[in-house]
Chain A
């Protein structure tokens, strides 16, 4: 556990290192392959901000990546052009991903934080004929 400094214990011009050691090609290294230091907010969680959470149902997903590009919190995990899921440590529950998802029914929906993923996916809404 890192010890937090008080307001009067700061060094002037403090420098925080995002990674332990050296990464030569950050733009070519995905998150799971990076050695984040304890100073990167990647290692922190804002999960307790959420009252509602997105659940992802891959059965309807067309991998359009709208949710990936418009998620403000880098919480839609996409690898090799395929959507994998939601990063629940960093998702703030804004609901943008659900709004921008174009499928019918949607492949992402918001549920109360305590909802059970498996049973919600089993009871996923059917196609909305009015919208189709």
Chain B
């Protein structure tokens, strides 16, 4: 059994020796690398990692460089999850046969992918990994758009957002469909742990990642990743936008254990109106025109409804 790293406060966390390097080519202010650092620094165990095609993959492995200080595989758009599942299966088989050179080491298997690679392109592959019960974690860096290829909509793009394939204009307010509820879909697999995290809540993140590493079986993590380029805000504001996302409850932080037990893990002291979250980002700018203002009200209603639902689920313990 591996030891859980003791991280009581931020000062202790800051003694971590990073296993992710700078001089990668992610945009200045990109939340992806903040999330990756928080995840990797949550453990001292060995790491077997992969990344699906997306900003994180292409920016951290530009030949002849790698930004990873752990085993990491550069793979296709759809299959970061199955690559890691394969490694995990091999590890188990070697262990059973007594052929591991250092059986005392307890590596953690983690696949990273964006929302495009998780909600759309890698969807069935992730579902397969979850259903087969691999001892692995899949982490979505959810920036709600195909940022790597120029800002096309994904099934995670929220309603009213302007994306290059669902642009706002004279006849359109942008994306027409609601964001897909991946948390519910993954929880429906009945896996031991599903959680939503945000980089600005580092402690909540570390706790959930450590819980995910400690359980036997598949773990699904959805991490909100504010994107300075496609969400259109100043790079210095990444953490401010993440604060607005969690405090307006557009991205509520919660976990679902064994597909049933739902716990809300963060209750903002002052709930911020959704309008403030939308107003801080260029991708929603057009919603503030008179003809589209009704959409802001609809947004707020949807967020309120979801929050009420989460609270009822938490109380009901079912």
Contacts and interface: CB of A to CB of B under 8 A. Distances in A.
Asked if A and B bind, the verdict is yes
Contacts of A31: 17-18
B19 A80 contact: no
B18 A74 contact: yes
Main secondary structure of the interface of A (DSSP, over half): loop
Interface residues of B, number: 49
Nearest to B26: A72
A26 B66 CA distance: 16
A15 B44 CA distance: 24
A27 interface: yes
A69 interface: yes
Interface in B190-243: 199-200, 202, 234-240
A46 B17 contact: no
A42 B64 contact: no
A5 B63 CA distance: 9
A81 B11 CA distance: 5
A10 B61 CA distance: 14
B21 A64 contact: no
Q: How large is the interface on A (under 10, 10 to 19, 20 to 34, 35 or more residues)?
A: 35 or more
Contacts of B29: 72, 92, 94-96
A23 to B, nearest CB: 9
B31 interface: yes
Interface in A60-101: 63-66, 68-75, 78-81, 87, 89-96, 98-100
Given A69-B37, A72-B37, A96-B239, 11 more contacts: A28-B17, A41-B22, A41-B23, A46-B25, A66-B10, A69-B14, A70-B34, A72-B31, A74-B21, A95-B29, A96-B29
Interface of B: 10-26, 28-34, 37-38, 43-45, 60-61, 63-70, 199-200, 202, 234-240
